[in-house]
Amino acid sequence: MTHTFSDLLVVRVDPPDEEAASVTLSSGEGEVTAFCHPCSLVVGQRIRNRLTVLDVRKLQSPYGDDWPQDERESLAQDRMIRQGHYEYVGTGKVVDADRGLVAVQGFLIEFGDVPAVDYVEFDILRLDCEG
């Protein structure tokens, strides 16, 4: 199954004109702030929808195989909550376990090794984007 994801919009680059920067990106469904190095992005630019992570603290199914369907559905909610400057926790849909791809709030995030489940709960130390 092929999934299509819209490009991301660069909303903010801070500090501008630096080699490394904090970049705020919008997917149309949500916004995240990611680390970018080297960074030549400018506000208003559209970039490929593919973020990566550094230092995953947790990546697992949010429920057990034997849990009731209603509990599974309540825990499989698409969410991404900022915990620190580049730190996020949340839950996303696994779109390609072989390639480590998870979709959450319109963002496509490459985690590397992803369990072969429908949804994963994650806790990441740093979210990165290509610049």
The one-letter amino acid code at 84 reads: G
User: Tokens standing for 84?
Assistant: 């620190």
- For position 114, what pLDDT does the model report? 94
Q: Are 89 and 126 in contact (CB under 8 A)?
A: no
Helix (H, G, I), strand (E, B) or coil at 72: helix
Least Cα distance to 119 among 98, 80, 91, 81 occurs for 91
Tell me: do 97 and 58 sit in the same domain: yes
- For position 1, what pLDDT does the model report? 45
Given a cut of 50, the residues of the chain with pLDDT beneath it are: 1
How far apart CA 112 and CA 114 sit, in angstroms, is 6
Residue 106: inside a domain, yes or no?
A: yes
Tell me: do 37 and 95 sit in the same domain: no
- For position 34, what pLDDT does the model report? 97
CB-count exposure of residue 109 (10 Å: 0-12, 13-18, 19+):
buried
Tell me: do 118 and 62 sit in the same domain: yes
Q: Which domain holds residue 23?
A: 8-47
Tell me: do 56 and 34 sit in the same domain: no
Q: How many domains in the chain?
A: 2
Enter the pTM of the model: 0.90
Tell me: do 38 and 67 sit in the same domain: no
Tell me: do 41 and 60 sit in the same domain: no
Q: What is the 8-class DSSP label of residue 19?
A: S
Tell me: do 77 and 92 sit in the same domain: yes
Tell me: do 104 and 116 sit in the same domain: yes
Tell me: do 28 and 55 sit in the same domain: no
Tell me: do 66 and 117 sit in the same domain: yes
Tell me: do 43 and 57 sit in the same domain: no
